[in-house]
Amino acid sequence: MKPTSFNLLEATHWKDYELLDSGDGLKLERFGKYVFSRPESQAMWSRALSLSEWQKADAVFQPSGEESGGHWDFKKKVEEKWIMNYDLSPSPSPEKRGLLKFWAMTTPGRHLGVFPEVASHWDFMADTIHQHATSPNILNLFGYTGLASLAAASAGASVTHVDASKKSVAWARENQTLSSLSDKPIRWIVDDAVKYMQREAKRGVKYDGIILDPPKFGRGPKGEVWEVYKSLPSLLEMCRQCLSDKPLFVIVTVYAVRASAIHVAQAVNEMMKKYKGDVDSGELVTREKSANRLLSQAVYAKWFAK
Q: What DSSP string describes the chain? A: --EEEEEEEE----SSEEEEEEETTEEEEEETTEEEEEE-TT--S--SS-HHHHTT-SEEEEE-SSTT-EEEEESS---S-EEEEEE----SSGGG--EEEEEE---TTS--S--GGGHHHHHHHHHHHHTSSS--EEEEET-TTSHHHHHHHHTT-EEEEEES-HHHHHHHHHHHHHTT-TTS-EEEEES-HHHHHHHHHHHT--BSEEEE---SEEE-TT--EEEHHHHHHHHHHHHHHTB-SS--EEEEEE-SS---HHHHHHHHHHHTTTSSEEEEEEEEEEEBSSS--EEEEEEEEEEEE-
pLDDT at 217 over 70: no
pLDDT at 216: 77
Distance CA 304, CA 306 (A): 7
- Domain 3-12+81-305 sits in which CATH superfamily? Vaccinia Virus protein VP39 (3.40.50.150)
How many CB atoms are located within 10 Å of the residue 70 CB? 17
pTM, to two decimals: 0.91
pLDDT at 90: 47
Distance CA 107, CA 252 (A): 24
- Angle among Cα 87, 155, 304 to the nearest 5 degrees reads 100
Distance CA 258, CA 298 (A): 10
The amino acid occupying position 182 is: S
* pLDDT, tens digit (0-9, with 9 covering 90-100), for 73-104: 999 999 999 999 999 964 445 455 589 999 99
Using pLDDT thresholds of 50, 70 and 90, give the confidence band for residue 69.
Answer: confident
Distance CA 212, CA 218 (A): 14
* pLDDT, tens digit (0-9, with 9 covering 90-100), for 6-31: 899 999 999 999 999 999 999 999 99
Distance CA 139, CA 46 (A): 41
* pLDDT, tens digit (0-9, with 9 covering 90-100), for 130-189: 888 799 999 999 999 999 999 999 999 999 999 999 999 999 999 999 999 999 999 999
pLDDT at 61 over 90: yes
* pLDDT, tens digit (0-9, with 9 covering 90-100), for 240-269: 999 999 999 999 999 866 667 888 898 899
Q: How many CA atoms lie within 13 A of 50 on its CB side?
A: 3
Give the mean pLDDT of 41-53: 95
* pLDDT, tens digit (0-9, with 9 covering 90-100), for 225-248: 667 778 888 999 999 999 999 999
Distance CA 60, CA 53 (A): 13
Nearest residue to 282 via CA among 11, 10, 7 = 7
Average pLDDT of the chain, as a whole number: 91
> Is the sign of the CA dihedral 185, 304, 203, 191 positive or negative?
negative
Using pLDDT thresholds of 50, 70 and 90, give the confidence band for residue 2.
Answer: low
Sheet with strand 17-23: strands edge to edge? 17-23, 26-31, 34-39, 59-63, 70-74
Q: Is residue 80 within 8 Å of residue 106, measured between CB atoms?
A: no
pLDDT at 68: 67
